[in-house]
Structure 1
Amino acid sequence: MNTPVQIGLPQVILFIIAVLGIGMLISSLMGLFGGRHELELFEDETGRQYRRWRKRRRELRWKRGTSGIIMLILAISLLWLTFAVQSYLGLTNDIKVARVQATSFENDPHNMNLQLTMLDKDGNPTSNKLYNVNGDLWRLECVMVKFPTWMNIFGIHSSYKLTRLEGSYNDSNLERNSKHIVIDLNGGAGDFFNQAHNASWSKPFVDATYGNGVFEPADGKAYDIYVSQTGLYAKLANS
């Protein structure tokens, strides 16, 4: 599984804002519920007097806590803004993971030559292979491990892994009865996906585990494949 961590200047700024917000939140709560020290006069058995500081029990200090309440509201607002902005950055910062170009044969329209170029998280090719696939459409599949929204503050993108390439037919009769070619990619789903899907320990840290796929016609055009926080989608390549 690939789990990109997207750390840039926006994430650093948001992290600093989050730290400030948490600090203000703790400070405001301590100000509202904090105890206080008072200087008291004591006298021992010999009549000698002395003074010492005595800590009073914690209590809610409404009259003196106006500034603390304002700081509390400001801290919560900063934290909410941080998570909202980071969630937006995570949802819009998609990663190009592959390029697919398939061309059907003129004398055999239900077969295609398909070139699949897989890319790393930086857009560099990791493999470039040519396949012969049955069908009118090609389909690229992956498995996804989607993390909770709160983990977006650390710039963690959903985990993904390209797992399968296959063809399908426009005609449902051909889809039911004709030969299919299925190509496994990257060793299939893998242990991490299976463990995250079944293990109880992963529930607080995993929002969902599922399969996902994108399909396009074998029209000779090149398609760039992107992975978002929720799955794959295809766009016509610029060149």
Structure 2
Amino acid sequence: MTTPVQIGWPQLLLFIIAVIGVGLLISSLMGLFKRRREMEIFEDEYGQRYRRWRKHHRELRWKRGTGGILLLVLSISLLWLTFAIQSYLGLTSDIKVAQIEATSFTNAAPQMSVKLTLLDTQGKPTSSQTDLMNGDMWELQCNVLKFPSWMNIFGIHSSFKLTRLEGTYSDPALEANSKHTVVELNGGAGDFFKSVYKQAWTSPFVDAAYGGAVLEPADGHTYDIYMSQTGLYAKPAGK
């Protein structure tokens, strides 16, 4: 699985704001619930006087805690703003993970030549292969681990693994009865659904674990494949 971490100046700025918000939240709560101290004077049997501070139990100080309440509102507002902006950045920070160009031709049954170029998280090619596949549509499949939105504050993108390239047919009859061509990628799905998938539902650090796919016709156009926070999607290259 690949887990991109997108750290830039927006994430650093939002992290600083979040730290300030947490600090203000703690300070405001401490201001609202503060121990009251009183000076006590007592005298021993020899007539000597002593002074000491006596601490009382913590109490809610509404009248004196106006400043604390304002800090509380400010801190909650800062935290809400931080998570809202970071969630937006996470949803719009899609990662280009592959590029596919497929051209179809007809023999006895539809076939296509599919060129797949895999990219790293920086958009640089890591491998390229061209396969002759049955069908007139291609399908790229992946496994996805979706993390909770609060982890976006650290710039953590959804984890993914491209697992399979498959040829399919636009004709339902051919899809049901014709031979399919499958190319495994990155070792395939492996033990993903046997281990991670089952554990994900009880983990506080994973929202969901699932398989995803993108399907496009072999029309001779080049498609850029992107991984969003929720799964794969394709769009024509250059758009």
Q: TM-score higher than 0.5 here? A: yes
Query: How far 1:105 moved relative to its partner?
Result: 2.0
Aligned residue identity for 2:211:
G
Paired position in structure 2 for 1:187: 187
Aligned residue identity for 1:16:
I
Would you say how many aligned residue pairs link Structure 1 and Structure 2?
Answer: 239
CA contact under 8 A between 1:109 and 1:136: conserved in structure 2?
Answer: no
Query: How far 1:192 moved relative to its partner?
Result: 5.6
Alpha carbons of structure 1 residues 117 and 26: separation in structure 2 relative to 1, 3 Å: same
Paired position in structure 2 for 1:221: 221
Q: Which runs of 5+ in 2 are unaligned?
A: none
Q: Any residues of structure 2 matched to 1:100-115 within 5 Å, and which?
A: 100-105=100-105, 107=107, 110-115=110-115
SS of corresponding position for 1:238: coil
Cα distance in 2, alignment partners of residues 190 and 38 from structure 1: 68
Cα root mean square deviation, aligned: 1.6
Percent identity of the aligned residues?
67
Cα distance in 2, alignment partners of residues 204 and 96 from structure 1: 28
Cα distance in 1, alignment partners of residues 181 and 28 from structure 2: 63
1:147 correspondence with 2:142: no
Cα distance in 2, alignment partners of residues 201 and 214 from structure 1: 24
Query: How far 1:189 moved relative to its partner?
Result: 2.0
TM-score, normalised via structure 2 length: 0.96
Cα distance in 1, alignment partners of residues 139 and 192 from structure 2: 23
Deviations 1:168-223 (A, max 9, x none): 11111111110101111101224466432112685211100001000111111100
Paired position in structure 2 for 1:196: 196
CA contact under 8 A between 1:196 and 1:206: conserved in structure 2?
Answer: no
CA contact under 8 A between 2:139 and 2:215: conserved in structure 1?
Answer: yes
Query: How far 1:37 moved relative to its partner?
Result: 2.4
Misfit runs of 4+, over 3 Å: 106-109, 190-194
CA contact under 8 A between 1:143 and 1:160: conserved in structure 2?
Answer: yes
Paired position in structure 1 for 2:211: 211
Aligned residue identity for 2:79:
L
Paired position in structure 2 for 1:24: 24
Aligned residue identity for 2:5:
V
Is the deviation greater in 174-183 or in 33-42? 33-42
Alpha carbons of structure 1 residues 6 and 193: separation in structure 2 relative to 1, 3 Å: farther
Cα distance in 2, alignment partners of residues 187 and 72 from structure 1: 51
SS of corresponding position for 1:56: strand
